[in-house]
Amino acid sequence: MNQSLELLDLGLKDYKETWDFQESLFQNILQIKSTNRKENLELETTNYLLFVEHPHVYTLGKSGNIENLLIQEERLKAINAKFYKINRGGDITYHGPGQVVGYPILDLENFFTDLYKYLRLLEEMIILTLAEYGLKAERSKGETGVWLDVGTPFARKICAMGVRASRWVTMHGFALNVNTDLGYFDNMIPCGIKGKAVTSLNVELGKAEVSMEEVKEKLLKHFLVLFEAEVKQKEPIEM
């Protein structure tokens, strides 16, 4: 089992371009696994963790309802945003500058074969990271992601999650609001859940801006511990 990780920080990158890149890594892992099965080989599969920020974009998962996007195409253009229907689970979400988006592209057979555990560990990574900033983040029963003040009238979501998996290979991932312009969430029903607010780390801390690099460092630290993984030192991969 290969529990090393290729870490790629893509900076600010177009959503569709990044999605295509994810898909290429995802399909490559699947191809290696298929070859192993057919030819009785034991070729090693590679695991990746991508960090990225996207320009303004709304994405709708396979089980999502387009009615949860509250604006028309003309308005999308006016606010310089794009929209995509994509192949992850979950409903609608927003990505934009000031948000740390993480895409773990893992062969879970290198770690454990349990998608429930996978999602819970991603949530735990966020919870532990926010705890370092003095915030008590939690899970909300039946709602994937990470929240604050669960079970109160002030419940608000700070991290959305949606994944795709095939033959134990994952793609897509999580989006943690750090310095996010929360006004963009007014154009949708976040994750299709009515009556719930969203928030960001800088709002919760009462700061104009929180270091994105610091947040990514903390996320990576907890990811490596929770998944018992290590970062493999290698030349960066070109998209």
> Looking at domain 4-231, what is its CATH homologous superfamily?
Bira Bifunctional Protein; Domain 2 (3.30.930.10)
- Distances in whole angstroms, Cα of residue 27 to Cα of each of 186, 198, 206: 35, 33, 42
What residue ranges do the domains of the chain occupy? 4-231
Reported as a single tens digit per residue, the pLDDT across 103-113 is 999 999 999 99
The mean pLDDT value for 59-65 works out to: 84
For the chain, the first-to-last Cα distance in angstroms comes to 26
pLDDT in tens, 10-51: 999 999 999 999 999 999 999 999 999 999 999 999 999 999
Predicted TM-score (pTM) of the model is: 0.93
Q: Count of alpha carbons within 13 Å of 96, Cβ hemisphere only?
A: 19
Q: What is the Cα Rg of the chain in Å? A: 18
pLDDT in tens, 135-149: 999 999 988 899 999
pLDDT in tens, 85-136: 888 877 888 999 999 999 999 999 999 999 999 999 999 999 999 999 999 9
Is pLDDT at 236 greater than 60 in this prediction? no
* CA–CA gap between residue 67 and residue 124 (Å, rounded): 31
Q: Which of 101, 191, 198, 229 is catalytic?
A: 191
Catalytic residue check, 191:
yes
Query: Which residue ranges are tagged as binding site?
Result: 88-95, 160-162, 173-175
User: Do 190 and 160 touch, CB atoms closer than 8 A?
Assistant: yes
What is the crossing angle of helices 115-131 and 212-226, to 10°?
140
